[in-house]
Chain A
Amino acid sequence: MTIQEQYKTRVRELLSSGTVKMVIGYKAGTTADRRRPLFIRTPEEADQLLLDSACIANLSGYLIAEGLLSDEKRVGIFLKPDGIRTINILAAEAQLNIEQIIVLGFDITGQEVTALQGETAGDFSALIESIKEGAPEALKNPLIDQLEQLNPKERFAYWQAEFSRCIKCYACRQACPMCYCRRCIVDCNQPQWVNTSSHTLGNFEWNIVRAFHLSGRCVGCGNCDRACPVNIPLRLINARMAQEVLGSFDHLAGMSDTQEPVLASFKKDDSETFIL
């Protein structure tokens, strides 16, 4: 039986036994390489389920849709390791109750899809530990290194060119499971901290603020990067910030549902070489 069929059976079981009220998964999209989020509420709807190497979107943002979890019923969701880390963070930040989430874990390597054993986010802690071990290597990106070789002026020019394209559609924010604020900082207008206009200055500010608010929280799922209709390489900034919190504070976001958020905690002996 293929993984997809195994999981279809599992989804049907979960729904018909009443363990979960809904399973969030993937179905076919407009083109062969696209997948759409699928909300499965009856065992029959599981027929549409698809699971293959194109199922890369992190669906966990749907879990915090208003009202979904407020009835305290359980919801199943297809998650890759980055998605499992995401729900750990959401739980750590008190956005959801991790007990309510049944994880249907899978991983993709190349074209290969493998099932991950476990049911709740906690079951995957060994896997996530190993991700942390590999993180310094995994976060490496030749483009980041290239950019860091440049002088600040050139780097500024690079980002100026990239951000000048931004149209402030906020697809990056909306696609990000971590961007759950009821009122985003750009929508706060007394005072208006970030220019809402999408001239380059406003775009620059927005993208810096967005990246800062995700520092130490981003799991690198790539939802923002894929969502961007003007193809700004947001993953570079996010990955650079992940490198920073890993290097400076030995922190990888989403290790467990009790992990303290890196910017809401401190150690007395945190390094401070830059402070005069």
Chain B
Amino acid sequence: MSEPFEPKIIAFVCTYCTYAGADLAGTSRLKYAPNVRIIRLPCTGRISPMFILKALQKGADGVLVSGCHPGDCHFTHGNYHARRRWTVFRALLEFTGIPLDRVKFSWISAAEGAKFAEFMNSVTEDIRKLGPFDQYKELIKETEAPATL
């Protein structure tokens, strides 16, 4: 039998809340799935939908986006802007057939180390169950193949 599928997951997090939450998870010695690669950004307002597409382009099976709870943004309202953007972007992903099970959003504060670990674990588990994002990977494979005609 081949090895069980280990998904590649990219997490875009804001540095003030969720990244600090990840730190807390670490210092609290909470274990979470090693499938998640964290990319730290100044604010969720800085997380362009382009990042999510780039992660998928590079072969991610799932993408997480996480930042401060509403009202807690270091820049006062970056996450409110992000929230609107995600609402629209999710609808777009859904309409073009990119499963929303693979692109998840959350608010995790600096104090929520446990929530962070739990969220990473549950998402990893969910995506492991979904399996690799074959449809997108097929597109990636096409870009590496020689011309057919």
Contact = CB atoms under 8 A, between A and B. Distances in A.
Interface of A: 144, 147-148, 150, 152-160, 185, 193-195, 197, 199-202, 204-205, 207-209, 211-212, 215-216, 237, 240-241, 244-245, 248-249, 262-268, 270-272, 274-276
Contacts of A159: 96-97
B129 interface: no
A265 B135 CA distance: 35
B142 interface: yes
14 contacts: A152-B99, A152-B100, A153-B97, A157-B135, A160-B135, A205-B57, A215-B92, A248-B87, A263-B84, A266-B81, A274-B86, A275-B105, A276-B104, A276-B119
Contacts of B95: 144, 147-148, 155, 237, 240-241
B107 A275 contact: yes
The binding surface of chain B is classed by DSSP as helix
Interface of B: 49-50, 53-54, 57, 70-71, 77, 80-81, 83-100, 104-107, 119, 135-136, 139-140, 142-143
From B88, B99, B100, name the one whose CB has the most chain A CB atoms within 10 angstroms.
B88
B84 to A, nearest CB: 5
B80 A270 contact: yes
Contact of A204 (B80, B87, B91, B139): B139
Contacts of B93: 208
A199 to B, nearest CB: 5
B84 A275 contact: no
Given A266-B84, A270-B87, 7 more contacts: A153-B97, A156-B96, A157-B97, A199-B143, A207-B96, A212-B92, A266-B83
Nearest to A158: B97
Nearest to B51: A193
A195 B56 CA distance: 12
A252 B104 CA distance: 27
A205 B54 CA distance: 9
A245 B87 CA distance: 9
Contact of B50 (A152, A193, A241, A268): A193
Contacts of B94: 152
Contacts of B89: 212
A264 B97 contact: no
A276 B139 CA distance: 30
From B89, B107, B140, name the one whose CB has the most chain A CB atoms within 10 angstroms.
B89
